[in-house]
Amino acid sequence: MNSFDVLFDIKCLDAGLPPLSHKRDEIIKMIISSSKEDRRRMSRKIRKLTKTALKNSRMWQNHEDENVLKHYGLSGTQKTFCIKILERRIILIKKFLNESDYNVF
């Protein structure tokens, strides 16, 4: 772990997110093992950052495409928790935060 990872993790914790420099499986375990209130807060923050990443990302030209929204669980059709969607969101957020030059927290 280098100094950038430590600073990035501190910034994530201050924003109410789990440390995102860890592996995807470790991040998901942290979220699932959190208290119900913390898990809900983290899920909301992750969903918000996913929407921001989709709107500002160069890799998705049409962020309002129904397939893209469904892929990230943002279409409103899914009502239950899905680990696969959480994994996709975390991957997108990690890429977005590593590429972004500005403060999105």
pLDDT (tens, 9 = 90+) of the chain, 105 residues, equals: 687 888 888 888 888 889 998 999 999 999 999 999 999 999 999 999 998 888 887 656 665 677 777 888 887 776 667 889 999 999 999 888 887 755 666
Note the pTM of the prediction, 2 decimals.
0.81
The number of helix segments (H) and strand segments (E) in the chain equals 5, 0
Amino acid 53 reads A
- For 8-13, which contacts have Cβ atoms below 8 Å and span 24 or more sequence positions? 8/97, 11/105, 12/105
Query: How much is the pLDDT for 81?
Result: 74
